[in-house]
Structure 1
Amino acid sequence: MVGRETELEDLKTLIEQSEKVVVVNGLGGIGKTTLAKRYLAIHNNDYDHIAFIEVSVDEEKGQSNFISAVANDPIIHENLGITLNPKLDETKRTRLIMNGLQQLEGNNLLFIDNATGDLPTSQVTLPTPPRWKVLVTSRVRLDQFALFALDSLSMEDGKILFEKYAGKVDGDALEELLELIDCHTLTIELLAKTYAKSLTMKNVGELVDYLKSNQLHHERLAKEITSEHANNKEITAYSHLLSAFILTDLTDREKWLLKQFTVLPPKPLTVEFLFDLLETKIGEEQEELSDLLQSLHKKGWLQESRRQEFFIHRMIQSILSYQLEINFQDSKNLVEGVTELLSFDQAKDNPIDKFQWVEWGENLLHWFKHSSEPEVFSLMNNLALRYQDLGDYQKAALLLEETLDSDLKNFGENHSTVARTRSNLAVVYSYLGDYQKATELLEKAVESDLQNFGGNHSTVARTRSNLALSYLDQKDYQKAVKLLEKVLTSDLQNFGENHPTVARTRSNLAVVYRKLGDYKKSIELHEKALEFDLKKFGESHPKLATRRSNLALTYQDLGKYQKAADLLEIALASELRSFGENHPNVARCQLNLGAVLINLKEYQEAHKLIERAFKIFIDRFGASHPDTERTKGWLDKVKGLLAGK
C-alpha cells in the first residue's frame, strides 16, 4: 500500500480509544478496504480472534444486506462451531452468530467490509467492548458510529502509486492526469495498469486526452487487467469503475440532482446558492432539495465541507457522465442561472468578478452545445463577452458567430437580438484587427436598432458608439466624432449627467478629439470621465486603467511626457492586478508607457516594456495584426536608439 502511514496511525488510535464501532468512511475506490486490511496485517497478533464479514453488493438490485451476509456465511458458522437450523430466518441466524462472537474471551476484532445503511439495526446487536472492537468500511455515512474519513491520496503518493504499476513517466502529464481524477486511488491503479499494458499509447498525455473528452470506454483503454478490488478477476478500467458506483439505490429525484452536480465544476456549493441557481421556490421545494442533498451525502455520492457546502468528487462526476442520461430540460434552470451569473451590467459590475463563472459556462456548454435551445445561445453570448474581457478574442468570435447564425434562423434579419449579437461580434472583430468586417456588422446593427427603437433610444446610442469606435480604428475621425456627439446628447437625455454610460461616451469622444488635435476638449472630457469612474467604481475597477491610459496619450501628444508616464505606470499596475501578465490590455499599456519613456530617453526600460508587449501580441494575434505591427515599429525604433543610430 502506497502512503497512508499517517492514516494507519490515526486509525489505530481511534480503534484503541473509541467505545463505539469505528467506520472507515469514504467514496467508492478511495482505499477504505485496503487501509483496513493493512491495519489487520500489521496488528494481527494484537487480537485473540478476528472475524471477517464481507457485505457484497447485488449488482442487479444495487443493494447489500448485512444480515443476509452474516446468516449465509458458512466459514463464520464453522469457526464458531454453530450448526444452524435452516428453517430459522436470516435475522435469527445472525443473532445466534453475534451471540456466539460475544461469548468469545479475549481481545477480539470484528471487521465488516463494505457495509451500507442497513448495518445499524435494532434487530441485531453487534459484539461489544471490552471483549470486541468493531471495524467497518462503508461509503455510507453511519453517523451514530465513530467515523474515520478517508480522503484522496496526496499528489506525491498518487505519483508513486501510478509509477508502481506503470514505471517512470512524464511528471507534468502525470500531474495533470492526477488532478483530473483528483488522486482517486482505484482510478490511479486501473489507469496505470491499462497504460502499462498498452502497446500503442506513447505517453500519459494520451490518457489525459481520453479523460478530458469523456472516452474512458475507448477501445484503446479496454485492456484486460486485474485488481484486488475486483478479487483479481480480469476486468477493464471502464467496466470496473462503473461497477464501483451503482445507481439503482437512488430515486429519480436524487438522480436529477446528481445530474446538476455532473454538469457543473466540482466545487463546493452552499444550499442557499443551489436554491438560487436552480430557482427553487421557498417552502416545500427548498425542503425537498435539502433532503435530497442530505440523502446523497449519507449515501456517499456527495461530500460535505465543514462550512456546510456540498461538492462532488471528480471521479464520481466522471462516472456519472456515463451512467446518467444528461439532457437540457433537466438542467434548463441551471443554464439560465449561470447565464445570469455571466451577465454584465456596465453601470455597476466589475468584469473581474465575472471571471469565476467562465468555467461554469464552459462546463455547461460542453454538455449542451449541440442543443438548439435559445437559452444555450444566450449562455454562449454571455460567455463570449467574458472571453472578450479576458482578452481571448478568438474564442469569443467563434461563440458569437454561432450565436449570430442561430439568431438569424430564429428571429430574422432585423430583430433586436440579431442586432445585439452583430454589435457584440463586431467589437470582437475590431480587437482582432478586422475593422472592415466590424464596420459592416455595426452598420447593419445600427440600421436595425433605428427601425426597432427610434433615434433616441439607449440601445441605438450603444450600437452607434461601437460603430464610431470602428470608424476610429479605420482613422475616419470625422465620422467617428459626429456619431459620438450624437451618442453623448442621447446618453445625457436618457441617463443624466452622472451615469457610467455617459462617462464611457465622454471617454470615447475624448479619444477622437485627441486624434483631431483638439487637446483641450480631449483633456476636459477625459478628466470628467476619470473623476466620475473613480467615485463610482473605485481604484480596483479596470475602467480606471483605461481612462488613465487614454488621458496619458493626450498628455504625450502635448509633450507632457512625465505626466503621461506617471498615469501609465498607475494604469499598468492596475492592468497587471486585474488581468495578469499576458493580457492584451497589459501589452497595450506596456507599449504606451514604453513609447513615453523613449521620449524621456529611458531607452533600456522602454525596450523591456515594448519587447514584452510585442511577445504578448505575437502570441495572441500573430505577426500581421495591427497591434503587433505597430509594436514592431516601436521595437525597431528603440533598438536603433540603443544602438546609437
Structure 2
Amino acid sequence: MFDGLSTELVGAAIYDLGLSTLNRLTQQNEWVQRFLTQYDLKGPQHDFAARYLEALVELHLQKKPAEVLNFFREPSISRTFYLFYYGEEASRGNEVQVQQELAHWAASLKVGEDLKNTHLDPLQEAQVFWLIFRQKVQESRTVKEVELEQQVRRLQNSLDNVKLQNSIPNPKFLTPLPFQAEIFLGREKDLRKIHDILFNSNDKQLLFINGEGGMGKTSLASKYLTTYQDEYTRVAWIYKEKSIAESLLILAFPINVHFDEKWDIHQRLDVLIMAMAELPKPCLLIIDNANELEDLRQYLPHLQRCSNFHILFTTRISDFPQLASYKIEPLTQDQALQVFKAHYPAFESQEEALFYEIYTAVQGNTLVLELLAKNLHNFNNKLKKDYLLADLRRDLEMGLLQLSKTSAVDVRYQAQGTGLRNEKIKVIIAAMYDLGDLSAAEIQVLSIFAVLPAESIPFERLEALSLGLEGLDATLLTLAQKGWLEYNEAAASFKCSPVVQEVVRLKNQNLLEDCRRVIVGLIEKLNYESGTTGHLLNASYTEAILWARWTTALVAISWSADETIAILYERLGTYHQTTGNLQQALTFFEKSNQLVKELHAANSKNMSFKHGMAVSYEKLGETYSALDDLQQALTFFEMETKLFEELREADWEKVSFKNSLAISYSKLGDTYSALGDLQQALTFFEKYNTLEKELHDAFPEKKDFKHGLAVSYSKLGQTHSDLGNLKQALTFFEKDIELSKELHEANPEKVPYKNSLAVSYSKLGSTHSALGNLNKALTFFEIETKLFEELCESHPEKVSYKNGLAISYLLMGEFMEQKMQTPTKAQELYQTSHALLEDLATRSPDNKEFKKNLDWVKAKLKY
C-alpha cells in the first residue's frame, strides 16, 4: 500500500513512520485484523493506513515538530481515529467520544507529556490533524466503504421498524415499577417539596433523599415516581447493589443500546450515558440504596451528563457537597401511631402511652415500628393476646433483637423480584446495614457508639476518655457523612440510632476488643480511692453521673466472661453504693462476683482472678452490712478473708495482698462489732492494726499505709470505748488524730484524709465528753462539724459525707442537751440533723443505717 508513495517527497523518516503505522494497524493489532475481516475491508480497498500516513505527511510539510508527529504515531491515538470511521456503531461518528479519548491519552501517555513540554496544546494539535485526516478520508472513500455505509443505514432502518411494530404499550417505563408502601401517611408535604426542587431549580436536577436506614426513603421515592410519572417521558427505578455502573447497565436493553462483548464496564457505561442523554426530556431515574461514597464520587460525573434527567438517590449519606439533599425526618408520634394501628389491628386505645414509649425507644424508625406491629399482629387478635404491647416494651429494654416472641413477617423492604419478603425481624434488621463497607477504624469507633446510650455524645466527652484512637475526629465525621452516625454541628456531638447499634453488636465478631479502650476509660473515670467510702479519683460526682450512665448501657450487653467487664461492674456498683442506691449497687456487685467466679473456675491458678473474686466478696459484704443483713455480710467477709490469706501465702512478698488482707480483717471487725461481739471484733482490729503497722514501717512514704494505720487506731479506740476502756480508747484516738492531721496538712486536696480527720475529731469529742472534759469535747465537736460542712458543700452527692454531718449535729445536740444544759440549742441541732437524715432516708430507703439514725434523731425532737 505504501510502495507507490515517493520517498523523495516525504523523506526516509516519514516513510519509516508510515510503514510502522501500517504494520501496527494491520498486523500487530488484532482488533484491526478482526474488524477488517468481519467487513471484508482487508486488501487494497481499505486504505485507512494510507490516509493516516498522508495526514502525517501533511503535518511534516507544515514543519510540525517531532513531538507532534510522535504523538500521532502512538497506536492509542491512531486507534481512536480508526474507531471513529470504522468502529462499531456506538463509536463510529461519535465526535464527543473522540474528543474525550484524545484528552485522556494526552493526559496519560508520555507522548502527550512530551508534546505539552513544547508548550503546544495536544487537543489543538489534534483538531488540526483531524481536519487534515478527515479531508484525506473524504477524498478517497472506496466503493466498498460507501456500500458498507448504505448497508448499515438500511439495517438500522429495518431495526427501527421492528422496534416500532413491537413496542410495548407504555414505552416510558424502562424498568419494572417498584413496590408501593402498603400505607403512606405523613409524607405528602415531602412529595411536593421534592417535586418543587426538581422542577423549579435549574441547578438541582440530581437530588439526595437521605436519612437513617428504615426511615422511609425508598417508600417516599417510590411514591414520587407513581405520583408524578405522567410528567416524565421516561421513568426508571434501579436498586444499586454492587455499583452504580453495573446497576445502570440494565437500562441498555430498554433504550436499545448494544455493546461489544469485549468492552469493559466503563466503555459500556460511556455508550449508555450518551444514549440516555438523547432521550426526550424530562426523564426520571431513581437509584435506590446508593450508600457508598466512593461509588458516588466515581460515577456522579457520568450521570451529570444526562441533563435531560431528574435523578433521585435514596441514601444514608448525610453530606455530599456536589449534590443537593432532602433529609427525611421520623414521622411524628401521632402519624407513626396511625401506621402502627394499620399494621396491628388489635391495638387498643389504652395502649397509647406504651406505644409512645416504644416510639421513643426506637427513635421513630418507620421500618422497625412496622416490623414490631406486624410481629404483634401474628401473636394477637381481637379475641386472644399472647404477646402484649407491655411485653414488647419490656423486651425492648433488653435490646431490639432480644424479643421474647418473634415470627416471620411480610415486608416490602429489600424484597427481590415481585414477591414480598418473609423473614424474622432479626434477619430484616441485620440486612439494613453492611459493615463490609467500613474500614477497621470506622468499625471500631462505631462499635464504641453501639455500646453507649443512643443519645447525643459530645466529642469532648469521647476525648476525655483518652481512647488513644488516631484520627478520631476524622473518623467520626466520615461515619456521619456515610449516614452511620448523626452529627450535630452546633453541639459538636454525635448520635447512633438503636437500629445501627443492634446491627453492629450483632455483626461485629470483635466487639469486645473494639470496645476495650472505652471499657478501660470508664474503669479509670469511676476509679475510687481504696480503703475509703468510694471517693472518686478521676471525676467529679457531677461528671460521674454521665460516666455511670454510659457504663450502665455498656454492661447491659451480654458479654462473655472478661476481667475488665467484671471490674466495670464493680466500679458501677461502688458508684451506686457511694451515692446511696444500695439495691442497684447490690445488682452490679452480684454480676461482678458471678463473672470473676467464672473466670476463676476456668483458671484457678490465676491470682488476678482470685484477687478479683475476693474484692467482689468484700463489696457484697459491705452492701449487705448497709442493708443490715449482718449474717450475710459476715459470710462474704469471711470468704474474702480466706481468699486474701491464700493469696498472701502464695506470694508473701506482694504488698498489695498484705494490705488487702489487713482491710478484710477490719471488715470482719466492723461486722462483729455490729453484731455485739466486741471481743471478736477487737481480735480482728488488732490483726488489722498489726499488718498496717508493718506496712507503714516498711513503706513510711506510702500515704495509703499511713492512712490505714490511722484508721486501725480509730477502730481499736472505738472498740475499747464500747468496752468501757475510755483511757485506752483515748490513747488510740490520739494516735489516730496525730496521723490524720499529718496526712491532711500534707495533702489538703485529698478528700478521704479530710473525712478521716473529721471522724477522728468526733471520736475525741465523744471520749472527752464521757471523761468530763467538756471544753475539749466542745472544741472537737465544733471542728468535726466544720469539716463535715466543708465536705458536704464540695461533694453534695456523696451520702456518707451528708450522713457524717447529720451525725455531727446529732452528737453536738446530745452534748448540748446532756452536758451543757442548753436544750434550745440542742433542739436546733436536732432539727438540722433531722432534715439531713430525712433526705438521706428518702434517697436511700434501703440503707438501714440512715433509717436508724433518723429514728435516733426523731426520738430527740421535742417539737
Same fold (TM over 0.5): yes
Aligned equivalent of 1:464, options 636, 641, 662: 662
Cα 1:214–1:427 shift into 2, 3 Å: closer
Aligned pairs for 1:150-549 (under 5 A) are 150=327, 153=330, 157-158=332-333, 160-166=335-341, 168=349, 170=351, 173-195=354-376, 198-199=379-380, 200=385, 203-214=388-399, 216=401, 220-222=405-407, 224=409, 233=420, 235=422, 238=425, 241-242=428-429, 244-245=431-432, 247=434, 250=437, 257=444, 260-261=447-448, 264-265=451-452, 300-301=483-484, 306=489, 312-322=496-506, 324=507, 326=509, 331-332=512-513, 334-335=515-516, 338-339=519-520, 341-343=522-524, 344=527, 346=529, 349-350=537-538, 352=541, 369-371=559-561, 376-391=562-577, 392-406=584-598, 408-410=600-602, 412=604, 415=607, 417-419=609-611, 421-433=613-625, 434=630, 435-454=633-652, 457-475=655-673, 476=678, 478-479=682-683, 481-497=685-701, 499-503=703-707, 505-507=709-711, 509-510=713-714, 512-514=716-718, 516=721, 517-518=729-730, 519-535=733-749, 537=750, 544=754, 548=758
Per the TM alignment, residue 241 of structure 1 is displaced from its structure 2 partner at its CA by 3.1
Deviations 1:357-404 (A, max 9, x none): 556666665556444xxxx03431342143123214312431343245
* SS in structure 1 at match of 2:796: helix
Distance in 1 (CA, whole Å) between partners of 2:564 and 2:703 is 27
- Contact map agreement 2:740 2:753 (CA 8 A) in 1: no
Q: Look up the equivalent residue of 1:418 and give its one-letter code.
A: K
Which residue is equivalent to 2:251?
Answer: 72
Distance in 1 (CA, whole Å) between partners of 2:487 and 2:521 is 26
* SS in structure 2 at match of 1:398: helix
* SS in structure 2 at match of 1:186: helix
- Contact map agreement 1:614 1:632 (CA 8 A) in 2: yes
Greater displacement, 24-33 / 192-201? 192-201
Structure 1 runs not aligned, ≥5 long: 281-285, 579-583
Per the TM alignment, residue 238 of structure 1 is displaced from its structure 2 partner at its CA by 0.9
Distance in 2 (CA, whole Å) between partners of 1:35 and 1:546 is 66
Which residue is equivalent to 2:168?
Answer: none
Distance in 1 (CA, whole Å) between partners of 2:763 and 2:376 is 58
Which residue is equivalent to 1:581?
Answer: none
Which residue is equivalent to 2:827?
Answer: 601
Greater displacement, 589-598 / 469-478? 589-598
- Contact map agreement 1:27 1:139 (CA 8 A) in 2: yes
Do residues 634 (structure 1) and 826 (structure 2) align? no
Structure 2 runs not aligned, ≥5 long: 1-183, 342-346, 531-535, 578-583, 722-728, 770-776, 815-825
Deviations 1:62-110 (A, max 9, x none): 5364564474388xx5xxxx65569899636732553134x537xx865
Deviations 1:333-367 (A, max 9, x none): 64476246415374993365666555666666555
Which residue is equivalent to 1:100?
Answer: 278
Deviations 1:540-578 (A, max 9, x none): x57755654664565466454555444444434444335
Which residue is equivalent to 1:121?
Answer: 299
- Contact map agreement 1:553 1:592 (CA 8 A) in 2: no
Aligned equivalent of 1:592, options 785, 788, 807: 807
Distance in 2 (CA, whole Å) between partners of 1:190 and 1:331 is 29
- Contact map agreement 1:217 1:238 (CA 8 A) in 2: no
Per the TM alignment, residue 318 of structure 1 is displaced from its structure 2 partner at its CA by 1.3
- Contact map agreement 1:422 1:442 (CA 8 A) in 2: yes
Do residues 53 (structure 1) and 236 (structure 2) align? yes
Q: Look up the equivalent residue of 2:856 and give its one-letter code.
A: W
Aligned pairs for 1:4-153 (under 5 A) are 19=203, 21-34=206-219, 49=232, 52-57=235-240, 62-63=241-242, 65=244, 68-69=247-248, 71-72=250-251, 91=269, 94-101=272-279, 103-104=280-281, 111-117=286-292, 118-119=295-296, 120-121=298-299, 124-126=302-304, 134-140=311-317, 143=320, 145-148=322-325, 150=327, 153=330
Q: Look up the equivalent residue of 2:748 and give its one-letter code.
A: L
Cα 1:71–1:456 shift into 2, 3 Å: closer
Q: Look up the equivalent residue of 1:611 and give its one-letter code.
A: E
In the superposition, the TM-score normalised over structure 1's length comes to 0.72
- Contact map agreement 2:618 2:636 (CA 8 A) in 1: yes
Q: How many residues align?
A: 596
Q: Look up the equivalent residue of 1:99 and give its one-letter code.
A: A
Q: Which has the larger radius of gyration?
A: 2
* Larger RCO (alpha carbons 8 Å, 6+ apart): 1
Deviations 1:42-65 (A, max 9, x none): 9x69x96475432225xxxx5364
Q: Look up the equivalent residue of 1:242 and give its one-letter code.
A: I
The share of aligned pairs that are identical, in percent, is 14
Distance in 1 (CA, whole Å) between partners of 2:451 and 2:547 is 10
Aligned equivalent of 2:797, options 566, 577, 581: 577
Deviations 1:583-630 (A, max 9, x none): x63774475266347543135544443333334454x35xxx5x2663
Q: Look up the equivalent residue of 2:425 and give its one-letter code.
A: Y
Greater displacement, 3-12 / 378-387? 3-12
Per the TM alignment, residue 310 of structure 1 is displaced from its structure 2 partner at its CA by 7.0
Cα 1:142–1:632 shift into 2, 3 Å: closer
Cα 1:292–1:63 shift into 2, 3 Å: farther
